């Protein structure tokens, strides 16, 4: 059977489902309907059923989804049932904020090394980690079996950090610097530039003023 | 003529186009082809032409797009040709990082007020702004004509902040707290939870291990 190609949009919704399901489990909720999930997420229940059907036949008619079972399944699909180690470069405010978030992640994904280029920051502590010099990146990635890199340096330094990650053999990059980075095709890169979210939000404001002049589709 | 419904995916790509075009203009590049844009963004040139055609007939065959003209047009579409004021609640590491980013934004979108609930943080300076007490939110939003709110507080406090934003008459919210928030339908809310990006990145790693058990689509 041909491997199923799952759209990016669906993959991006899975962590959101996971978050809601984890909340439900915390409150000892054992089953949930697509209708209830839809209410919580502002998504059409049919959309949710379709998303989850990609991965197997989880739900049962009239009963809904078993919360714990669905959590297990989504974690498997996202490969969160195995440890995944992450390195972060750029120990400024954003880097520190993400490190704090990371300690909340119960999902086997852990920031296990933090690097910075500035001598005044190298050697300081963030949570339980000591900030390492950027020169130690390659050796540390190999030693700690790190597969994902997070970039939280200024835009002008970001490509250099990306190149170092690629050279170190990292498989995926999450880039927070507000710039486009070039990496080889086999490296997966996600951009998490908050300005993109903020600027696209502007588009949706002031709906009454929505007059586009002569929209043309040709 | 019926108003054109532009897909969210297209709207989210526009700020990325804008970023690349601003970079080009900085380097005095005057025209750019969809092919060159495609190379920079890892997007199919046909996709780029299609995206931009939604908004009018910008490109010319054999010449490409006029960089400055396209920047103007995209800024108009995103409504960045007029000032848009933003408030941020939560002056921790993430809030500070975003405030720093914001000073780089040349796009009329400005964080003009920062709030926090903690007495030890209220009154401190971030860039040129003094952190205000959360109780001042409603009056300040009205006074400064703020239309967008950014939430960078811990998950447990986020819904309370969202409620305050809604009560203050804000039109759009960018939420960084790792939790789902409920707001009235007329408020536009974007979630910028970095864990979603990070967890969906995990899915794409280790392609050889991509065996899903009996995918079913029914």
pLDDT of residue A183: 93
**Of A4, A57, A199, which is closest to B212 when you measure between CB atoms?**
A4
CA atoms of B108 and B102, how far apart (whole Å): 10
Q: Give the residue-averaged pLDDT of B1-6.
A: 56
Measured between beta carbons, the chain A residues lying within 8 angstroms of B153 are none
Between B146 and A218, the more confident residue is B146
pLDDT of residue B106: 60
What's the CATH number where A169 sits?
Answer: 3.40.50.720
Q: Is A94 annotated as a binding residue?
A: yes
Classify burial at B74, counting beta carbons within 10 Å of its beta carbon; exposed 0-12, middle 13-18, buried 19 or more. Answer: buried
pLDDT of residue B217: 39
A119 and A148 within one domain: yes
CA atoms of A126 and A124, how far apart (whole Å): 7
pLDDT tens per residue, range B85-115: 999 999 999 899 888 776 556 667 889 999 9
pLDDT of residue B104: 56
Query: E strand or H helix at A142, and its extent?
Result: helix A137-144
Residue A211 scores a pLDDT above 50: no
pLDDT tens per residue, range A181-196: 989 989 999 888 777 7
In a domain, A206, yes or no: no
Q: Report whether A190 contacts A206 (CB < 8 A).
A: no
What six digits make up the tokens of A73? 């399944």
A71 and A94 within one domain: no
A51 and A91 within one domain: no
CA atoms of B210 and B167, how far apart (whole Å): 47
pLDDT of residue A217: 39
In a domain, B60, yes or no: yes
Within an 8 Å CB–CB cutoff, is residue A200 touching chain B? yes
CA atoms of A71 and A18, how far apart (whole Å): 6
Measured between beta carbons, the chain B residues lying within 8 angstroms of A86 are 198
Share of chain A above pLDDT 90, in %: 41
In a domain, B218, yes or no: no
Contact state of B150 with A198 under an 8 Å Cβ cutoff: yes
Residue that is last in its domain, among B58, B77, B96: B77
pLDDT of residue A4: 60
pLDDT tens per residue, range B172-204: 999 998 888 989 989 999 888 777 778 888 888
Contact state of A192 with B197 under an 8 Å Cβ cutoff: yes
Contact state of B197 with A190 under an 8 Å Cβ cutoff: yes
pLDDT tens per residue, range A150-179: 999 998 999 999 999 999 999 999 998 878
Per the structure, the complete domain to which residue A16 belongs is given by: 8-77
Residue that is last in its domain, among A77, A103, A123: A77
**Of B8, B150, B216, which is closest to A56 when you measure between CB atoms?**
B216
B121 and B39 within one domain: no
Q: For the CA atoms of chain A, what is the radius of gyration?
A: 21
Among A202, A211, A215, A218, the strongest candidate for a mutation testing the B interface, having the largest count of B CBs within 10 A, is A202
pLDDT of residue B179: 83
Instruction: Scan for tokens 């032409």, then name that residue.
Output: B49
Contact state of A205 with B213 under an 8 Å Cβ cutoff: no
Provide the pLDDT confidence category of residue A47 given band limits of 50, 70 and 90: confident
Contact state of A11 with B204 under an 8 Å Cβ cutoff: yes
Q: Is A44 annotated as a binding residue?
A: no
pTM over 0.90: no
In a domain, A101, yes or no: yes
In a domain, B73, yes or no: yes
What is the Cα B38 distance to its own chain's centre?
21
Specify the number of domains making up chain A.
2
Helix (H, G, I), strand (E, B) or coil at B147: strand
Q: Is B201 annotated as a binding residue?
A: no
DSSP letter (8 states) at residue A4: P
A92 and A194 within one domain: yes
DSSP letter (8 states) at residue A174: E
pLDDT tens per residue, range B14-26: 888 988 898 899 8
pLDDT tens per residue, range B50-67: 888 877 776 677 778 899
What is the Cα A211 distance to its own chain's centre?
35
Residue A67 scores a pLDDT above 80: yes
Q: Give A 20-59 residues with CB within 8 A of chain B.
A: 20, 23, 40-41, 53-57
CA atoms of A120 and B88, how far apart (whole Å): 29
Q: Give the residue-averaged pLDDT of B142-160.
A: 95
């Amino acid at each position: 059977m041909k491997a199923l190609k799952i759209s990016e949009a669906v993959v991006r919704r899975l962590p959101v489902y996971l978050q809601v399901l984890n909340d439900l489990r915390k409150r000892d909720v054992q089953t949930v309907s697509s209708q209830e999930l839809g209410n919580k997420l502002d998504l059409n229940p049919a959309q949710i059923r379709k998303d989850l059907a990609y991965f197997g036949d989880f739900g049962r008619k009239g009963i809904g989804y078993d919360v714990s079972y669905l959590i297990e399944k989504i974690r498997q699909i996202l490969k969160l049932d195995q440890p995944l180690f992450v390195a972060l470069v750029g120990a400024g405010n954003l880097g520190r904020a993400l490190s704090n978030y990371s300690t909340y992640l119960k999902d086997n994904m852990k920031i296990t090394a933090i690097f910075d280029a500035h001598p005044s920051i190298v050697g300081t502590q963030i949570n339980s980690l000591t900030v390492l010099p950027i020169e130690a990146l390659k050796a540390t990635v190999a030693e700690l079996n790190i597969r994902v890199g997070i970039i939280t340096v200024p835009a002008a330094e970001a490509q250099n950090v990306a190149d170092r990650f690629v050279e170190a053999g990292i498989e995926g990059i999450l880039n927070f610097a507000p710039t486009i980075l070039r990496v080889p095709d086999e490296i997966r890169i996600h951009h998490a530039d908050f300005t993109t979210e903020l600027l696209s939000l502007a588009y949706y404001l002031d709906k009454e003023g929505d007059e586009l002049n002569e929209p043309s589709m040709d």
